[in-house]
Amino acid sequence: MSKGYWVSVYPTIEDPARLDGYNRLAGRAVAAMGGRVLASVGSRIEAYEAGIAERVVLIEFDSFEQAVAARESAAYQEALAALPDGFERDFRVVEGL
C-alpha cells in the first residue's frame, strides 16, 4: 500500500503568530490520524525554478486513503475554520510511489 503525504506551501504569510491556533488544532488532528511531520517550520529550503523559499510542511501517513480521511476529518475541519486571513496556502494530498 502506498503512503500518503500532505504537502503544503505557504507563499504568503503576513503574520506567522496568527497561525498558532490553526497549528495547535491541526497538530492534534494529524496525530490522531497517525500522521508524521517530516518537514515544517525551521526546515531548510532551497527553492529552484518558480519555487518560493517560504514555509513548507510535509506530513506522511501510512496510506493515501488515510491522508485523505485525515484531511476530511472533523478535527481537521475545525483546524481549517481557525485559519486566519492574511496568508496564502497551496495544499495537496499526494500518493507515494
For residue 24, the domain's CATH number is 3.30.70.100
Model-level pTM? 0.89
The whole-angstrom separation of Cα 93 and Cα 75 is: 17
User: How do strand 4-13 and strand 55-61 relate by DSSP bridges?
Assistant: antiparallel
Q: How many CA atoms lie within 13 A of 16 on its CB side?
A: 7
The boundaries of the domain holding residue 15 are 4-95
pLDDT in tens, the chain (97 residues): 899 999 999 888 888 888 889 999 999 999 999 999 999 887 888 989 988 788 899 999 999 999 999 999 999 999 999 988 888 889 999 999 9
Into how many domains does the chain fold?
1
